[in-house]
Amino acid sequence: MAAQPKLLQALLFLLLLSFTAVSAAQLEEAEAPPPRPPPPPPSTTPPNLTLHNMCPYTIWPLITPNSGLPSLLPSDSDDENSFTHLANGALLTLPFPAGQAWSGRIVARTGCVSVGPYASDPDSELFAATRCATGDPPEPVTVAQVSVGSADGIAAYSVSLVDGFNVPLVVTPDGSFVSGSGGGCPTLGCAADLEAVCPEDAKAPGGGCRAEDEGVRELFKRRCPDARTTPNDVEVTPQRCLSPRELRIVFCPDAGGN
């Protein structure tokens, strides 16, 4: 008879353990965050590159493909570095090539002298550059770098101040997911007018701010943390986007009221 209370106590203890385990599992399931929605499949349609000039002055954007890659500009150009001029508020949209990867850099030149217009889009004239006040090495230049068309549909984009600063610019992807995070694709770059805070000894004669001094590079990084200021710089914001429909480069994004 004395063994029966002990047996009953053991059964009650096992029942309590089972109830506690079930309750903990139910609580953990209730508190678990909902799963992230799966990213969309890579698009088979190539994205567009759109350039939007919001600066209160004309710019001459220069699009340079990496070695061996085609120009984004009309095939009747005899110069792969030809470019269009964009007045304040003007837009230029160009398709990336279909069925292949493309990478290159885009800069905004200012104060250019140009010759040789040739036939192209009736809404714009294309020119071959002869001389520009800013944007021609070794003068300082803000650089946007883009890469699209990879097999997994991931586009990469960044803004570099390694070669100095001449025009504020940001890259805005029209996409839904950052590769590897499930979040939205961020706008990033350097919207600040760094020439306004440039030390006198770093100012270029034609405009812009040189980045030869470490103190100037540190100034750039404080004002534009999402831009690269050294060749080995690592940005704090992911700079990848899955299957964007467009990569829009906006020059002087904070000058929309001008």
Q: How does 99-118 read in b/e, with b if 16+ C-beta sit within 10 Å?
A: eeebbbbbbbbbbbebeeee
Domain positions in the chain: 48-255
Q: What is the pLDDT of residue 62?
A: 87
- Checking if the pLDDT of 165 tops 60, the result is yes
Q: Please check whether residue 251 is in contact with residue 110, taking contact to mean a CB–CB distance below 8 angstroms.
A: no
244 CB neighbour count, 10 Å cutoff: 24
Which residues contact residue 38 at a Cβ distance below 8 angstroms, ignoring those fewer than 6 apart?
A: none
Task: List pLDDT tens digits, range 206-229.
Answer: 899 999 899 999 999 999 999 999
As assigned by CATH, the class of the 48-255 domain is mainly beta
Q: Looking at the DSSP assignment, which residues form a beta bridge with residue 126? A: 84, 118
Least confident of 25-39, 144-158, 231-245: 25-39
Q: What is the pLDDT of residue 175?
A: 74
122 CB neighbour count, 10 Å cutoff: 6
Average pLDDT score over the chain: 78
CA 54 to each of CA 44, 49, 168, 233, 238: distance values in angstroms, whole numbers, following the listed order: 31, 16, 10, 28, 25
What is the spatial distance between Cα 139 and Cα 164, in angstroms, rounded to a whole number? 8
Task: List pLDDT tens digits, range 32-74.
Answer: 556 655 555 555 678 899 999 999 998 988 899 999 998 887 6
Coil, helix or strand at residue 209: strand
Q: Please check whether residue 85 is in contact with residue 127, taking contact to mean a CB–CB distance below 8 angstroms.
A: yes
Least confident of 82-91, 119-128, 152-161, 209-218: 119-128
Q: Please check whether residue 89 is in contact with residue 114, taking contact to mean a CB–CB distance below 8 angstroms.
A: no
Task: List pLDDT tens digits, range 110-150.
Answer: 888 755 543 334 344 454 555 788 877 778 999 999 999 88
Q: Hey, what are 25's tokens?
A: 């599992």
What is the spatial distance between Cα 234 and Cα 238, in angstroms, rounded to a whole number? 10
Q: What is the pLDDT of residue 108?
A: 87
More confident site: 85 or 89: 89
Report long-range pairs for 38-41 (Cβ below 8 Å, ≥24 apart). Answer: 39/176, 39/177, 39/182, 39/242, 40/176, 40/177, 40/242, 40/243, 41/153, 41/243
- Checking if the pLDDT of 76 tops 50, the result is no
Q: Please check whether residue 173 is in contact with residue 244, taking contact to mean a CB–CB distance below 8 angstroms.
A: yes
